Amino acid sequence: MEYQESTVTTTSSSDATPRVFLQPIAAPSILGMFGLAGGVFLIASHMMNWGGAVAHPLLLVPFVALLGGLAQLLAAMWAFKARDGMATALHGTWGAAFIAFGALTRYVVAAGTTTFTAAMFPEIGYWFIVLAAITWACTMAAVAENKAMVTVVTFLAAGATIGAIGSLAAIDGLLIVAGYVFLVASIAAWYTGTALMVNECYGREVWGLGRSATARQMPRITMGIGEPGVIRGQ
């Protein structure tokens, strides 16, 4: 599905007839979901104590910060143009969090620490509290869009909630559980991004997203005040 932004201009002072120029853009959450899937997968692998993810955490930083961070922030801004508030909030919040994770990892490793445990960094729990609160809010909004998006944000919010408890209570076992929940969120995000991309390329629904009744009833082109021809959402 393509999204279009309208621009209204007039040819001259004597011609007051508005002209609308449509600018098609791809669904922003294609990039956003892939960025989310990649970043969350690497964070989950670190939390689950998988081999190299723990031994060499600094090697995760460039990928997490660029794909999970920068790419999602860009997707958030394009989602803003597509008038999708949920995607703007989701990708913007998690993109910023991944960049912050990269900066923190670089600082910690430079200080001579190569491992992350709940007992060492309970303050990370406050990061997870913020992420959980915003992501649970996104879950309520995603219900109006499709089941695939609901699955992604639900597991993200659940993982952040468990991560907050594990970090603040200094229970490393809960962080491992949170890692596995994030892993499910990563797989769901990959599926959602792939479905959005494939469906857009074929011009029809090839991979199901489970669109809600609200999304199915919404007209493809919505007439906003001063925004004729704008297509809203993902």
Residues 160-179 pLDDT 10s: 999 999 999 988 899 999 99
**Containing structural domain, residue 142:** 3-10+18-230
With a cut of 70, say whether residue 116 has pLDDT above it. Answer: no
- 119 by DSSP, 3-state: which? coil
Number of compact structural domains in the chain: 1
Structure-block tokens of residue 85: 């508030």
Token pair belonging to 133: 């609160």
**Closest among 100, 86, 89 to 128, alpha carbons compared:** 100
Rounded CA gap, 66 and 45, in Å? Answer: 17
Give the tens place of pLDDT for each residue, 135-165: 999 999 999 888 999 999 999 999 999 999 9
- pTM confidence score: 0.80
